[in-house]
Amino acid sequence: MADTWESLRAECMQCQGCGLAGGRTHVVFGDGSQTARVLFVGEGPGQNEDEQGVPFVGKAGQLLDDMLAMIGLDRTQVYIANIVKCRPPQNRDPLNTEREACFPFLRRQMALLQPKLLVCLGRIAATELIKPDFKITREHGQWFERDGMLLMAMYHPAALLRDPAKKPETFEDLKSLQQKIREVCPETVLRRDW
């Protein structure tokens, strides 16, 4: 039977597909508009996200909200998901086995959403979605085309919190994203124009 958002979410909530299931408080399925044209994909839930069941609600999430606001967007106009839906212990990188077990959920979310633009937040999402040897320092801000969708990666907000010197480059990436939204997502209303 074809997925609906409700059936997919319900299936994801029950998932026991990898070892992360045993340590979770909440599955973090995703947040935002189910008709968004722009999809942001992070790595996996941290402590705050695990507690609340919503992606990007901790300090990195506040910065993501600020980044969206800089280009006239808020999280109700985009969709936000992660490569893995359950928190890795001590926020370690998700293992390959965990990513592989979880990836079909993201694929099915993408099939429902059919985004025009996909923004990878950080290296883990970029290596999973753009190419396995993606180099975030060299290739952030570049656009790639895949199956009629345009993809780019920017630094993960947590990386920007650790190293604020990366913020000016990220601002350029955000402006490039805003330009692409103007070009290919006319239905997305930008409340701020650079």
Place of tokens 């998932």: 15
Examine residue 94 and tell whether it contacts ligand URA (CB under 6 A): no
- Quote the DSSP letter at residue 79: E
28 vs 73, which CB is nearer to ligand URA? 28
Q: Which of 12, 39, 40, 46 binds ligand URA (CB under 6 A)?
A: 46
Distance of closest approach, residue 31 Cβ to ligand URA, in angstroms: 9
Region of 32-40, 53-61, 69-77, 144-152 interacting with ligand URA (CB under 6 A)? 53-61
Q: DSSP per residue over 9-71, as a string?
A: HHHHHT--SSGGGGG-SS----EE-TT-SEEEEES---HHHHHHT-SS-SHHHHHHHHHHHHT
Angstrom distance (rounded) from CA 16 to CA 92 = 19
Residues 6 or more apart whose Cβ sits within 8 Å of residue 183: none
* Residues forming beta bridges with residue 153, ordered by sequence position: 120
Q: Which of 30, 43, 79, 178 binds ligand URA (CB under 6 A)?
A: 43
Examine residue 56 and tell whether it contacts ligand URA (CB under 6 A): yes
- Quote the DSSP letter at residue 110: H
Distance of closest approach, residue 192 Cβ to ligand URA, in angstroms: 24
Distance of closest approach, residue 185 Cβ to ligand URA, in angstroms: 23
Distance of closest approach, residue 45 Cβ to ligand URA, in angstroms: 5
Q: Summarize as ranges the residues that interact with ligand URA (CB under 6 A).
A: 28, 42-46, 49, 55-56, 60-61, 82, 158
